[in-house]
Structure 1
């Protein structure tokens, strides 16, 4: 399980806006290109464990600050899908 978690976390820290939009579309989550660019820029290079609830919550709070609370909720849904 740790390998799977490492792969997902590595992907999150290197995700591009296009990839984020692709995943959002795949899971029926609405985000704009501008929001995806901001989020991907913020995530790039971050060491975060989305499988850890407190780390994910802190990350979502920061995403809410740079985009909007609604967008952060949508991204959280995506992260939760990744962790299942």
Structure 2
């Protein structure tokens, strides 16, 4: 399972604005291009592990600051789908 974790974390740590917008549309998460750009920029520079609860919580808090709590909750749901 570790290899899948590495693949998922790598994708999140290298995500682009357009990729994030595509995932948002696929999973029905409302997000603007501006928000997606800010979130993607944050994620690309973070080298995060979404399988670590503390790191995922910190990421979600930052996303809430960028795009609001509703979007952060939806992104958290998406992360939980990836990690389950």
User: Please, what TM-score do these two structures have when normalized by structure 1?
Assistant: 0.92
Q: Give the deviation of 1:50 after TM superposition.
A: 0.5
Deviation sequence 1:51-72 (CA, Å, 0-9, x none): 1111100110011112211111
Q: Give the deviation of 1:34 after TM superposition.
A: 1.1
Deviation sequence 1:15-62 (CA, Å, 0-9, x none): 001001111111122111111111001111311110111110011001
2:44 counterpart residue number: 44
**Contact persistence 2:29–2:71 (CA under 8 A):** no
CA distance in structure 2 between the partners assigned to 1:20 and 1:58 by the alignment: 19
| 2:49 is the alignment partner of 1:66 | no
Q: Which runs of 5+ in 2 are unaligned?
A: none
User: Please, what TM-score do these two structures have when normalized by structure 2?
Assistant: 0.92
CA distance in structure 2 between the partners assigned to 1:48 and 1:42 by the alignment: 10
CA distance in structure 2 between the partners assigned to 1:11 and 1:45 by the alignment: 12
